[in-house]
């Protein structure tokens, strides 16, 4: 019996120890993982624990957003909130650092477009993230800054005399201020040396430079035929209008807007029985403080413009001059309405034409798209042999012409957006072509376009040779910038970036600031 009890106690003890060991193992594993993936500081452990259970939103660039930690609204004064974070370093508003100084200058710049301000702040935020990653790599590569260089740079930045040289006497008198600036300056110098050593001064061959020069200096202009999905002939519009004429009936209403539905129920029968007393009864009810308002529509509205299906159905059943038999609940209160007037929209009126056209396109979009695709192919096949003008005449369409030539990196081509992938590929095709070349139909967001190159301006090799020394510096710098940008895109994916920028800065805030100025 004693042996059995000892066995049970032993099993209980082993069970407790096993559970405790599992717990300890998990805790140690968390600490180790946190230490490895955050660079080791205890701060990483704190952030790891703090982030558990929070909503994390995955962004397209591989970063995440944690809205609960965004330094915005009621959370702006929370010391743990931030705009962004990487490698346990936070980018926060309200600090005396480079990021805050830069964005403060943006905010204080008068007469700057609000969208441009927003873009600048985003640019400085991205630079701040890149700098943290760059500093991390600089430390791993053992880049060092001499003490003399550091002191000299602090002097030039914060203790400069009238000639811009370091005032060492002033620095000796205020050593605490020197110490205050030393960390930021040291980090900046390390980062700049890292940039210089690993990205700048890249060689550019003359052939490579010539390709870049041609890309910059070549300009083309186009002749084009545009087949828009928004274009509908008058005959089709008239036929569609006749078929769906009831959809284009317009109404004017008079409304009694009640405070209490019971008052509306008590009077609706009397008004319906004698609609000529609508205004008289309405004024009496208003004097008795039973109405919110009496509303007389100044303009006609389509049935589709009214706010609820219940109201639309009631209007459709009510003749001109008559009063609704039912009480309709609206966003401003219960109403009893009278149809002041109704009429069919005239197809000669601009708003009617626009509505009929919009409805026609919505109902027949696939057909219109297919028709324009086939027309574009027919025009292209004819234009290849006889030219764009002849193809246009044969198909009853007009040729349009660009007024100004456009460069490869510029905006200005009709119906083409360089920011879209398919559009940018089309631009590449254009610049590979020659004068009078005709191109296969290009599908854009509103239809199809057939184009030919009207003119092509190409740069001079002699001019390139004269400018080569200056161009070399420029292209080398651009090559370095591209390499650096690509590097940080890859590096950001290695380290978990928390990007709360869009939760802290909103374009609407910049617009409101502009209105207040």
pLDDT bin (cut points 50, 70, 90) of residue 115 is: confident
Please count the other Cβ atoms lying within 10 Å of the Cβ belonging to residue 500.
Answer: 26
Higher pLDDT pick, 306 / 49: 306
- The whole-angstrom separation of Cα 305 and Cα 248 is 11
pLDDT bin (cut points 50, 70, 90) of residue 43 is: very low
Q: Is the pLDDT of residue 377 over 70?
A: yes
Q: What percent of the residues of the chain are helix, what percent strand, and what percent coil, each to the nearest 5? A: 60, 15, 25
φ and ψ at residue 336, rounded to 5 degrees: -115, 130
Q: Which pair of tokens denotes residue 226?
A: 């545009």
For residue 452, count CB atoms less than 10 angstroms from its CB and return exposed for 0-12, middle for 13-18, buried for 19 or more: buried
In a domain, 506, yes or no: yes
**Per-residue pLDDT, 481:** 81
Alpha helices in 200-260 (DSSP H): 206-217, 234-243
Q: What is the per-residue pLDDT across 392-451, written as a single tens digit (0 to 9) for each? A: 999 999 999 999 999 988 889 999 988 888 888 999 999 999 999 999 999 998 999 999
Which residues, 6 or more positions from 103, have their beta carbon under 8 angstroms from its beta carbon?
93, 120, 121, 124, 125
Q: Which pair of tokens denotes residue 8?
A: 């049970």
Please check whether residues 346 and 485 belong to one and the same domain: no
Please check whether residues 322 and 348 belong to one and the same domain: yes
Q: Is the pLDDT of residue 117 over 80?
A: yes
pLDDT bin (cut points 50, 70, 90) of residue 54 is: confident
Q: Is the pLDDT of residue 26 over 50?
A: no
- The whole-angstrom separation of Cα 169 and Cα 62 is 50
Q: Is the pLDDT of residue 280 over 70?
A: yes
Which helix or strand (DSSP H or E) is residue 452 part of?
strand 447-457
Please check whether residues 340 and 412 belong to one and the same domain: no
Q: Is the pLDDT of residue 24 over 80?
A: no
Domain count, the chain: 5
Query: Is the Cβ–Cβ distance between 371 and 448 less than 8 Å?
Result: no
Q: What is the per-residue pLDDT across 122-163, written as a single tens digit (0 to 9) for each? A: 999 999 999 899 888 888 877 778 888 888 888 888 888 888
- Kind of pairing between the strands at 400-401 and 328-330: unpaired
Please count the other Cβ atoms lying within 10 Å of the Cβ belonging to residue 190.
Answer: 20
Which helix or strand (DSSP H or E) is residue 91 part of?
strand 89-91
Please check whether residues 431 and 392 belong to one and the same domain: yes
For 346-380, give the secondary structure using H, E and C: CCCCHHHHHHHHHHHHHHHHHHHHHHHHHHHHHHH
**Per-residue pLDDT, 48:** 54
Please check whether residues 408 and 472 belong to one and the same domain: no
Q: What is the per-residue pLDDT across 312-366, written as a single tens digit (0 to 9) for each? A: 999 999 999 999 989 999 989 999 999 999 999 999 999 999 999 999 999 999 9
**Per-residue pLDDT, 480:** 83
Please check whether residues 278 and 302 belong to one and the same domain: yes
Domain that holds residue 396: 217-230+363-457
Please check whether residues 296 and 387 belong to one and the same domain: no
**Per-residue pLDDT, 31:** 42
Among 326, 352, 378, the domain-final residue is 352
């Amino acid at each position: 019996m004693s042996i059995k009890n000892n066995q049970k106690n032993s099993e209980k003890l082993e069970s407790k120890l096993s559970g405790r060991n599992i717990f300890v193992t998990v805790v140690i594993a968390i600490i180790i993982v946190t230490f490895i993936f955050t660079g080791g500081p205890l701060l990483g452990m704190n952030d790891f624990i703090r982030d558990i259970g929070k909503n994390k939103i995955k962004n397209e660039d591989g970063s995440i957003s944690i809205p609960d930690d965004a330094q915005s609204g009621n959370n702006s004064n929370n010391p743990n909130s931030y705009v962004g974070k990487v490698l346990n370093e936070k980018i926060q508003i309200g600090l005396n650092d480079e990021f805050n100084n830069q964005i403060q200058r943006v905010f204080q710049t008068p007469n700057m477009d609000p969208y441009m301000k927003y873009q600048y702040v985003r640019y400085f935020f991205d630079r701040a993230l890149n700098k943290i990653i760059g500093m991390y790599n600089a430390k791993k590569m053992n880049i060092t800054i001499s003490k003399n260089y550091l002191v000299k740079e602090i002097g030039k930045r914060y203790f400069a005399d009238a000639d811009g040289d370091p005032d060492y006497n002033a620095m000796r008198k205020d050593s605490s201020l020197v110490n205050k600036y030393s960390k930021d300056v040291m980090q900046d110098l390390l980062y700049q040396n890292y940039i210089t050593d690993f990205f700048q001064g890249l060689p550019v061959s003359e052939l490579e430079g010539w390709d870049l020069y041609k890309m910059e200096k070549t300009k083309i202009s186009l002749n084009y035929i545009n087949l828009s999905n928004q274009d509908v002939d008058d005959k089709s519009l008239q036929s569609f209008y006749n078929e769906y004429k009831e959809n284009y009936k317009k109404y004017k209403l008079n409304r009694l807007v009640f405070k209490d539905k019971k008052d509306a129920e008590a009077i609706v029968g009397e008004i319906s029985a004698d609609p000529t007393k609508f205004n008289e009864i309405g004024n009496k009810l208003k004097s008795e403080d039973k109405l919110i308002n009496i509303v007389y529509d100044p303009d006609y509205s389509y049935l589709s413009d009214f706010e609820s299906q219940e109201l639309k159905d009631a209007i459709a059943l009510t003749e001109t001059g008559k009063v609704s038999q039912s009480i309709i609940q609206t966003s401003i209160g219960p109403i009893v309405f009278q149809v002041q007037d109704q009429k069919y929209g005239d197809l000669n009126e601009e708003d009617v034409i626009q509505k009929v056209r919009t409805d026609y396109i919505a109902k027949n979009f696939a057909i219109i798209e297919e028709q324009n695709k086939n027309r574009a192919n027919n025009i292209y096949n004819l234009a290849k042999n006889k030219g764009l003008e002849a193809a246009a005449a044969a198909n009853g369409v007009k040729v349009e012409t660009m007024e100004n030539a456009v460069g490869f990196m510029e905006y200005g081509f009709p119906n083409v957006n360089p920011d879209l992938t398919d559009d940018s590929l089309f631009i590449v095709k254009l610049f590979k072509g020659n004068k009078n070349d005709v191109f296969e139909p290009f599908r854009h967001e509103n239809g199809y376009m057939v184009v030919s190159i009207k003119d092509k301006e190409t740069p001079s090799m002699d001019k390139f040779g004269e400018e080569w020394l200056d161009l070399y510096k420029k292209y080398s710098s651009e090559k370095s910038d591209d390499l650096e940008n690509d590097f940080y895109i890859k590096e950001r994916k290695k380290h978990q970036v928390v990007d709360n920028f869009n939760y802290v800065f909103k374009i609407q805030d910049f617009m409101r600031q502009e209105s207040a100025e």
